[in-house]
Structure 1
Amino acid sequence: MSYGNQGGGGYGSQPPGGGYGQQPPSGGGHGGGYSQQPPSGGYGSQPPGGGYGQQPPSGGSYGGGYGQQPPSGGDFGGGYGQQPPAGGNPPDNYLVAAILTTVFCCFPLGIVSIVKSTQVNSKWQIGDFQGAALASEEAKTWWKRSLIAGIIWWVLVILFCVVMFGLLAASFPSMSQ
């Protein structure tokens, strides 16, 4: 294929021996087909023996191909790409509780809760159902810890304010005289 008058060495010329994966006409009466590889070994031909690397044997216990998956053992925990459990919905991620306890209670523990709660859906989507359930439980644990720490903090703040107000009131003489 050529675009305009480009002569012998322009941009439209093909290198000798085939070209960039170009297929010769198939000769089946259909015009030019793509059913044969060029015999001369152009840029699109494959090396002898198959491909550019050996593929693992396909008769093993896992199936063949790249990215093999470990056996699952029948339960829903283990490898990726498995079918979801009977419920079909991901476990609760507790994201709202994590955000609220982060804002109103204890910031450091709430951040851990937010991180764990965001892992639930992503693990569920890739098929790690056991990991999603574990992340859900950890998110619940961390937002509860944040809530408890926040309650303790606010009780201490209120007690401190009451004590300081009492000390300040006792140090000033009464104005009723």
Structure 2
Amino acid sequence: MSYGNQGDGGYGSQPPGGGYGQQPPSGGGYGQQPPSGGGYGQQPPSGGGYGGGYGQQPPSGGGYGQQPPSGGGYGQQPPSGGGYGGYGQQPPAGGNPPDNHLVAAILTTLFCCLPLGIVSIVKSTQVNSKWQVGDYQGAALASEEAKTWWKRSLIAGAIWWVLVVIFYVVVFVLLAAASVPSSSY
């Protein structure tokens, strides 16, 4: 009994006329066993199919898991489009994720405007997670949104503190004016 040579008969041998799951001798494809030599699961060196074992892609493109060359796949930019691409795309030449602006987001949340700063923190935490899953365009977009929101928080906080200072100055002037005795001649 021979496990490796399927042409001699034995365990797992196929009948000469073809069997279950076997392709005709002139054809090809996955699952075909060579008529002589070869072992379990091997593809014929010059046979049909894609010329290799499982997991190999055809030389002319296409195949399972590849996007069509004309564009239009999920997360793929059209040839004239820009950006980093989508899921499964190669990272940009630098290879580093964009700045997440987390420090600025935290500082503006603490000292300027809490609601806008929280949005900035959420956007900045999305940058690295999107980069790690391969969504490079989404990471760049989240970085830009984080920067926009911490700047909005900074502006809102600056306006708030200017209004607070103006309010205290007005109150101080009014109290000082009310406490000065007026003299009448």
Fold shared by both chains (TM-score > 0.5): yes
Q: Confirm whether residue 166 of structure 1 aligns to residue 167 of structure 2.
A: no
Aligned residue among 146, 151, 157 for 2:158: 151
Q: CA deviation at 1:88?
A: 0.4
Deviation track 1:97-129 (CA, whole Å, cap 9, x = no partner) reads 000000000000000100000000000000000
Aligned to 1:63: 64
Using the alignment, how far apart are the partners of 1:71 and 1:172 within structure 2?
70
The 3 A distance-change label for structure 1 pair 162 and 107 is: same
* TM-score of the superposed pair, with normalisation by structure 2: 0.56
Using the alignment, how far apart are the partners of 2:163 and 2:83 within structure 1?
45
The 3 A distance-change label for structure 1 pair 134 and 64 is: closer
Q: Return 5+ residue gaps in structure 2 as ranges.
A: 4-10, 13-19, 22-56, 67-72
SS in 1 for 2:121: helix
Q: CA deviation at 1:63?
A: 1.5
The 3 A distance-change label for structure 1 pair 84 and 169 is: same
Count of residue pairs the alignment pairs up: 121
1:2-151 paired onto structure 2 within 5 Å = 61=62, 63-64=64-65, 70=74, 72-73=76-77, 77-151=84-158
Using the alignment, how far apart are the partners of 2:62 and 2:2 within structure 1?
44
SS in 2 for 1:82: coil
Q: CA deviation at 1:78?
A: 3.4
SS in 1 for 2:140: helix
Query: How many percent identity over aligned positions?
Result: 70
Q: Return 5+ residue gaps in structure 1 as ranges.
A: 1-25, 29-35, 38-47, 50-57
Using the alignment, how far apart are the partners of 1:71 and 1:158 within structure 2?
50
* TM-score of the superposed pair, with normalisation by structure 1: 0.59
- Is the Cα contact below 8 Å between 1:62 and 1:71 reproduced in 2? no
RMSD: 2.9
- Is the Cα contact below 8 Å between 1:116 and 1:138 reproduced in 2? yes
